[in-house]
Amino acid sequence: MAEAGDKIPTLSELYQDLWTTYIFTENTNDSTSSQDYQVKLRHGIQSGEKAIHMVNQLHLYSDNENIDEVATNEVRYLLLPAILGYLSTLLNVKERIEVVKKGKDYFTDFLRLCKSYEVTDVNLPPDSTATGPTGKGPPDLIAMSRQRGDKIKKFQEQKERAKKLKDLSVEVEKDHVDDEVKRDYYLTLCQQWVEKSLEELDSLNCEVTMLKFREQSIQNGHEEPPKHKKDPQKKQAFRPFIITKDMIQKQVYGAGYPSRPVMTVDEFYEERVRDGTFQAPGSSHSMQDWANDPEKDAQAKEQEDSEKEKKIEEDDEETLQKARDWDEWKDDHRRGWGNRKNMG
């Protein structure tokens, strides 16, 4: 028996403790394997187990009742096995298969209870782990199309239900809440957990199948030896590998492309003069000519300008084309249009 000074928590307090633990698991950034996470998780699970035990002692629910006969504040206790099943699957234990089976039992009890009280009309999914794998026949396209339509419809219903819950949760947090609003909130929450329980059951069935397959492999002698029992192996000497096709060619010629000069600077300049890219020496006025002999450079510039004017007057085709090209270039490239990115 508990001592006289010990305070026994009420059913409402136990439920709130379980719900707070669920909210913690949904919003925390802690790793599920961290000690703090697991300690809070186990504390919430203990509160949930006590709450379910108290519900059974009080006989709050009966098979011959309807949801309309359940008091509003007692509707939320229908969620106890669903939340407890979800939290149980988050436990970090060695025997994972036991945790998974326990979670499946909680979710199944919740779905049966909701169906009994006509909160939902869904059928319990078959236990695929009990019957074993069945042979696959040809795909039924009509059934696949129907399943796709059901998934789309279910997704839309989930979105509407989530929005409704968000609005109702604001009303429930107020000091004075209408009984119908609170009841609608708890029933909508139960419907949301029905969908969540179906998804969790499907996932847990797959996990049980994999765990059983792994257990069978261990029994058949295919278990991998633990890492700490591995015999120390002698490390092999590092053997470098060459990425380039020929290491000697890389050292002499470069990394696969010609890197030796094929012509001198003078040969390169002469080739560009022949191509017309560079001008021939002495063919144009330059700053170097002006620095060496300003008067001679001025005379050369006047002579060059007069020759240009003469060619223009004589309608020299090449000179006129150059003049037109220069005018077009100046029209398209106004003065001061350069890089203005760094200007204030």
CATH number for position 71: 1.25.40.540
pLDDT for position 144: 63
Is 140 part of a structural domain of the chain? no
Is residue 75 within 8 A of residue 186, CB to CB? The reply is yes
Task: Say yes or no: 169 and 306 in one domain.
Answer: no
Token reading at 137: 């026949």
Range of the domain at 324: 290-331
Distance of CA 188 to the CA centre of its chain: 29
Residue at which a domain ends, from 252, 278, 304:
278
Per-position pLDDT tens, the chain of length 344 = 445 456 889 999 999 999 999 999 999 998 988 999 999 999 999 999 999 999 999 988 888 888 999 999 999 999 999 999 999 999 998 888 889 999 999 999 999 999 999 898 888 777 655 545 444 555 566 666 666 666 777 777 778 888 888 888 888 888 888 889 999 999 999 999 999 999 999 999 888 888 888 888 877 775 554 455 455 555 565 555 545 555 555 665 555 555 667 788 888 888 887 876 776 666 555 556 556 666 776 777 787 777 777 776 666 777 778 878 888 888 877 776 766 665 54
Task: Say yes or no: 201 and 298 in one domain.
Answer: no
Residue 97: how many other CB atoms lie within 10 Å: 15
Task: Say yes or no: 213 and 318 in one domain.
Answer: no
Give the single-character DSSP code of 66: -
Task: Say yes or no: 52 and 188 in one domain.
Answer: yes
| Residue from 87, 85, 128 nearest 103 by CA | 85
Task: Say yes or no: 26 and 122 in one domain.
Answer: yes
- The count of domains in the chain is 3
pLDDT for position 134: 47
Task: Say yes or no: 249 and 103 in one domain.
Answer: no
| Residue from 302, 82, 276 nearest 193 by CA | 82
Is 259 part of a structural domain of the chain? yes
- CB contact burial 32-44 (16+ within 10 A = b; e otherwise): eeeeebbebbeeb
Token reading at 34: 């961290």
Task: Say yes or no: 197 and 55 in one domain.
Answer: yes
Task: Say yes or no: 259 and 295 in one domain.
Answer: no
| Distance between CA atoms of residues 83 and 76, nearest Å | 11
Task: Say yes or no: 175 and 320 in one domain.
Answer: no
**Side chain identity, residue 263:** M
**Side chain identity, residue 98:** E
Is residue 61 within 8 A of residue 117, CB to CB? The reply is yes
**Side chain identity, residue 35:** Q
Is 145 part of a structural domain of the chain? no
Is residue 87 within 8 A of residue 45, CB to CB? The reply is yes
pLDDT for position 266: 85
Q: How many CA atoms lie within 13 A of 137 on its CB side?
A: 3
SS (H, E, C) 242-311: CCCCCHHHHHHHCCCCCCCCCCCHHHHHHHHHHHCCCCCCCCCCCHHHHHHCHHHHHHHHHHHHHHHHHH
Is 46 part of a structural domain of the chain? yes
Task: Say yes or no: 265 and 294 in one domain.
Answer: no
Token reading at 122: 């869904």
Is 237 part of a structural domain of the chain? no
pLDDT for position 248: 58
| Residue from 18, 215, 192, 211 nearest 101 by CA | 211
Residue 234: how many other CB atoms lie within 10 Å: 5
pLDDT for position 219: 78
**Using alpha carbons only, how large is the chain's radius of gyration in Å?**
42
Which residues are CB-contacts of 337 (< 8 A; sequence separation ≥ 6)?
A: none
Is 272 part of a structural domain of the chain? yes
Task: Determine the length of the chain.
Answer: 344
Task: Say yes or no: 176 and 253 in one domain.
Answer: no
Residue at which a domain ends, from 174, 189, 221:
221
Task: Say yes or no: 174 and 210 in one domain.
Answer: yes
| Distance between CA atoms of residues 334 and 226, nearest Å | 77
Which residues are CB-contacts of 241 (< 8 A; sequence separation ≥ 6)?
A: none
Q: Is 60 exposed, middle or buried (0-12, 13-18, 19+ CB in 10 A)?
A: middle
pLDDT for position 93: 87
Is residue 44 within 8 A of residue 28, CB to CB? The reply is no
Is 309 part of a structural domain of the chain? yes
